[in-house]
Structure formats: structure tokens, C-alpha cells
Structure 1
Amino acid sequence: MKTTRRGALTRLAATGVATVALPHVASAASRAPAAAPARAAADGWQPLFNGRDMAGWTFFQDGVGQQDRDGVVDVHDGMLHLLGPRYRGPAKAGMGYLATDREYENYHLSLEYQWGTRRYEPRTLWKRDSGILYHNPTGRELLWPDSIEYQIMERNTGDALPINHRAIPAISQGGLPGWPEDLPGNTQYAPQVDAGGSLRQWIRADGSFDTLEGWNTVELIAQGDKAAHIVNGRIVTALYGLQRQDPADRSRYIPLTRGRILLQIEAAEIMFRNVKIRQL
């Protein structure tokens, strides 16, 4: 991947990041209490969002906290509707996310999203933006937490933006990222940018397959220390050698295989539905 420091900084500013394994069926190390997991279907899929309420999810909004004071989230018709017509907060809607109560590893996540028309300060003229943050460690809630972002953005859906994590981007073979194995000898981590207190990478998706009208299906395969981003049935990003900063020594990196899953709130109206997960 060819990325200059200037290009990465420009991209990080444009997305706003320079200032964001199954209810416990995927690992025995789940730490957070939660409601009983939903029953899995015969093919192994089970809902991560029940379509009725926020059971199993935690809300966080910068400057507000963990209580949805302004109606950011509206659950209706089997959807999580963020920053829609019931939002009654300020024109500058604080960034944030919805986070699973549990950590997951070795899983296949699938969900559908659709854009609404509402945009909020400071991004009324920008691309509509959201994302899935994964491999986020349980801990204090804060804006832009340590994680890997699966970018959901107009014409950039599938990009990867690790935050205080890092990854080796797969070698592209003419628009085909290597998956489930990369080409031998690829050990080069993507460049990192100091984004004011955190280190970020920007790994571009290999192609643009999202639609701006109607529903999109995005999938994430997280297996061991590798991950694949799939947009409407096409693998656009593959990551290997996932690592996180060692909490005991932030200058060191340690293997990364698990964490919470977050859905971003980023100044644009968006709807999520059919959020489901299965163990690998």
C-alpha cells in the first residue's frame, strides 16, 4: 500500500478520526455480564441485535455519557435508527457508539445498513460516515477508543483504520486482496500516523461496492490475528498480524484476537438491521 504521511493525515482529518466472538459462544474469557444469548439458527447464525430494544448493547456519546439524553437511538421496525427524526439534541451532534456488552473472537459478523438524509455539524457538507469498530478492549468508554475501524462511508466502505492497533494489509493481486492466506513474505505493517495522542493506520479498500441508496450488506470475518472486510459480497480488505499496544508498555505490541464490537455514531443519519454473528 502506498501511503504518504501527508496523504494519511489528510484522510484521517477527512474521516474525523484524527480528533473512533458471539454472546459468549466465541470465547470462555467473556468478562462483562449480559442477558442470556439468543438461540442460534441451524446454520450457526444468531442475532446480535434483537430488533426490539438495546439489550446487550451499551450507549456512549461524547459530552453526554452513557445515557441517551437526546434520542440519538430509535429502535423500530427491527432497526437501530441513529440520528433520525426523533433526535432532539443540538445541531452539533456528539460522536459516539453503541457497544456490545461482551467481547468476541473467531467470528463472522453480518449486518445491513442504509443511509438517512440528515447530517449534523460539523459534517453537513462531508460524506456520510459511520463504522464498525472491532477488537475494542472492555474498559473505560471514550471517544475514538483503541480498535480497528471497518469504515462505513460513502464510497469508502470497507477501509480499515486501526486505532492504537496495527495490521499488515494483504498484498493485492489485481484488485483481489489475499484471503484467507496472504502471499508469503508479506510482513510490512501499514504506516502509522500520530493523530494527537493515538497512532492510526489507513488501509484502503480494494474497490468500491457500496450503494448510496437502499440497503448494503457488510460482513466481517475475524479469525485469530487476521480479518476480512466484505462489502455486498466482495472481499475488499484483508488484514494480517493484528496487534494492539501493550497496556503495560505502549511502546510494545502484543497479539490481537478479540474485543467488543461497536457501531459508530458520526453526525449522519444511519439505520442498521439484521445484525447477526456466528462462531468460526
Structure 2
Amino acid sequence: MFEMSLRALLLPAVLSLAAQPPPAPGPGWVLLFNGKDLSGWKTVGKERWVVENGTIFGEAITKGDGFLKTEKTYKDFHIFLRYRCEADTNSGLFYHTDVTEDISQIRFIQVEIDNRINSHTGGLHGDRVPGQPGGGWIVWPAPDKAGVMRPWDWNDMLVMVEGNRTRVYLNGVRMIDFTYPNPRNTDGVIALQLHSGGGGKMRFKDIFLRDLTRGPGR
């Protein structure tokens, strides 16, 4: 199975080369984060985003939303990353977005990340719900998958976006496989989020992307 082979290829490299950027898991995959600086990324908002020990560390220092977004836009893609929540944090991976500081005005789809059990990590949230400024839930994972997420520890996330279909895998388990019938947005940047409210702390590393629209290096 493709998703499982990706995980099998990547994790041994991560464990053995923790101080170095891991090798690409296969043809067409490229690193989005070089482990040294935030080249290729831009901050949105006033929250703190820095590189520490080969990881991206995000810390909420105000009550507003904060984002770290890619400079490039993406349409169809697969993305793999590892994340760890270091507080009772609500975060997420945004895609097909034009992310700005005012979350009530942006278009987005978000893969939910939350450090609390039964908070729908791996589900989709977004602006595709009429009459709900700032977004609403699109789909939740099944209740029996609530224990897949590892609080306070590293988690492996694979998101596969192809047309209007999104599949999310967490720690090797498929959380959702959802096809939206009439997507409003099919292109945009990818962004890491720190949710409003303050106190959030997140780490991300080993971020790989496979661009299905343009191919590698474009």
C-alpha cells in the first residue's frame, strides 16, 4: 500500500539521522523545511515561529491566530510531516488557502490537530459551510479513531489532496477519506496554524511534499 510504504521508508531515516535533513522518501518528494531556517515560508500574524534543533517551533504570544505559510501555492499534492503538541494546543494544517491574519475573511480547508483526545484530530474544518463565518466542520473521523493521536509525543501525518478528494492518515491509520462535491477552492498555499486564544506551542519537522500538479522542483 502506497501510504504504508511511505511511512516505512521515512521513519527509519528520521530515527537514524535526527540531526540531519532526512532523505526524500521516494521519487518526486521534496523537503519543504530544510531543518535550518524558514526559507520558502512566510509568517502571518504576530505569533512566534523559529527554528530550534531542526524543528519548526511555533509559540502563541498573543490572543490572535498565527500562521506559517508556504511561498508557493499548490493544487494537487501529498504532504507528510511530523508534529508534536507542547501544550493543550489547537493547531492545524491549512491548504487551498489565501491565509491572512483575519481568519474570518479567508478561504481555507484545515486538517485538524489538537492535543486533546476526542477533539477530532485528522478531521476537516473549513469555510465551506454556508452561514458560518470563520469556518465550520466538514467531516470528523470515526469515534473509534480518537485514540490514534499520541498526546505530547511525535505524530506522523500524511495528507493526500487529489482534486476534490482528501485522505488523512495519522500514525499509519486512515482518519478520513472525503470527497467534497462542489469545492469552492482548489488551489492556494499550505499553512501551519497556531489557534487564537494564546498559550499554544507546536513543533513540526520532516515536512515532505509531492506536487502532483507541477512535479518536483517547479
TM-score range, shorter chain: 0.7 to 0.9
- 1:105 alignment counterpart: 75
Kept in 2, the 8 Å contact 1:115–1:213? The answer is: yes
1:231 maps to 2:161 = no
CA 274–199 in structure 1, closer or farther in 2 if over 3 Å, else same: closer
User: For the aligned residues, what is the CA RMSD?
Assistant: 2.3
Secondary structure at the aligned position of 2:152 is classed as coil
**After superposition, where does 1:39-58 map in structure 2 within 5 Å?**
42-58=26-42
State the percentage of identical aligned residues.
Answer: 23
CA 199–218 in structure 1, closer or farther in 2 if over 3 Å, else same: closer
What is the distance in 1 between the residues matched to 2:69 and 2:135? Answer: 22
CA deviation after TM superposition for structure 1 residue 49, in Å: 1.0
State the one-letter code of the partner of 2:156: T
What is the distance in 1 between the residues matched to 2:141 and 2:78? Answer: 19
CA deviation after TM superposition for structure 1 residue 203, in Å: 1.4
Superposition TM-score, scaled by structure 1 size: 0.58
What is the distance in 1 between the residues matched to 2:51 and 2:113? Answer: 20
Matching residue within 101, 106, 125 for 1:161: 125
What is the distance in 1 between the residues matched to 2:35 and 2:124? Answer: 27
CA deviation after TM superposition for structure 1 residue 147, in Å: 0.7
Matching residue within 74, 82, 89 for 1:128: 89
- 2:102 alignment counterpart: 143
Could you tell me which runs of 5 or more consecutive residues in structure 1 were left unpaired when the two chains were aligned: 1-38, 118-126, 166-191, 246-255
CA deviation after TM superposition for structure 1 residue 275, in Å: 0.8
CA 221–42 in structure 1, closer or farther in 2 if over 3 Å, else same: closer
* Greater Rg by CA: 1
Matching residue within 156, 160, 166 for 1:221: 160
CA deviation after TM superposition for structure 1 residue 54, in Å: 1.2
Could you tell me which runs of 5 or more consecutive residues in structure 2 were left unpaired when the two chains were aligned: 1-22, 213-218
Kept in 2, the 8 Å contact 1:96–1:143? The answer is: no
CA 94–107 in structure 1, closer or farther in 2 if over 3 Å, else same: same
User: How many aligned residue pairs are there?
Assistant: 179
What is the distance in 1 between the residues matched to 2:211 and 2:134? Answer: 31
- 1:253 alignment counterpart: none
- 2:215 alignment counterpart: none
Kept in 2, the 8 Å contact 1:130–1:152? The answer is: yes
State the one-letter code of the partner of 1:221: M
State the one-letter code of the partner of 2:66: G
What is the distance in 2 between the residues matched to 1:159 and 1:95? Answer: 19
- 2:208 alignment counterpart: 276
CA deviation after TM superposition for structure 1 residue 58, in Å: 1.1
Matching residue within 46, 52, 61 for 1:76: 52
CA deviation after TM superposition for structure 1 residue 57, in Å: 0.8
